[in-house]
Amino acid sequence: MDGDRVERVRIEAGGCALEVSPAVGGRIAALEIDGWDVLRRDGWTDREWGSFVMAPWVGRLRDGRVAWRGRTWWMPATEPPHALHGTVLDVPWTVVNLDATAVTLETGFGDAWPFAASIRRRIELREDRVVDRLTVTAGEPIPVIVGWHPWFRRRAVRLDNGDEAEPAFVSVRAGRRVELDAAGLPTGRLVAPNDQAMDDVLLELAAAPVVEWPGGPRLEIEAPAAAAWVVYAAQPDGVCVEPVTGLPDGLNGGLLGDPPVARPGAPVVAEMTIRWR
């Protein structure tokens, strides 16, 4: 199993490279841009490194509870008493296609999820961007929220000599912020954005978020299907800018209304693009 964890699929394009770890959530384990290493390659748990997928919910699911069309069930409390970041972030994904510049992976939602469904991730590397596309298919109508959780290094590192860039600067221009309680769950109120986001759920963005290292790379993140963006900058070794198609506990409704629904023949599809140059 330890050997499986360190296995990597590597793709390259135009002087840039990307590594994927199929065994650990099918995550992007490394991203190298023009000689700069920009993603955290390890963490104290599998929630703190690389760029992983959150599905079929994002953030915290209150008490692990989901109510849907008269049925109620409870997901495992991975951050007691709540369930955190879905069911696919640390499970094995299967590589279903691989070429020089793209990889496609797939997995199910696990035994605890009561519906037949699967998620496919296609990661394509180009010389100036990564295009990361998620597709959720289901055998019956099901609620599903997806998102990406990229951990960018606080200081990008030069691969040739180990030199570090200046600390990352994150720019997110939002109109409103979702107020969160002490557990990180929405209170039901929308408030003004903080001057500097530390652990914030943001709405109504005026422009694509930017992660920039002075003297190093500048990244723009686009996700047309995102209903909200989570910005986390409270950890000293990394920063996160997370596009999500719903809110924490959003499977149960809330501020944004009913969650997206995957239906037979009508999958839920979302795409994130990270651009540079």
pLDDT digits (tens, 9 = 90+) for 172-194: 999 999 999 999 999 999 999 99
- Cα separation, 250 vs 261, in Å, equals 12
Contacts of 266 (CB under 8 A, 6+ apart): none
Q: How much is the pTM?
A: 0.96
Domain segments of the chain as ranges: 2-275
- Averaged over successive runs of 10 residues, the pLDDT of the chain (277 residues) comes to 77 96 98 97 95 98 94 95 98 97 98 94 98 97 97 97 96 97 96 95 98 96 98 95 98 95 98 96
Asked if CATH classification 1.10.3720.10 holds for the domain at 2-275, the reply, yes or no, is: no
Q: pLDDT of 251-272, one tens digit each?
A: 999 999 999 999 999 999 999 9
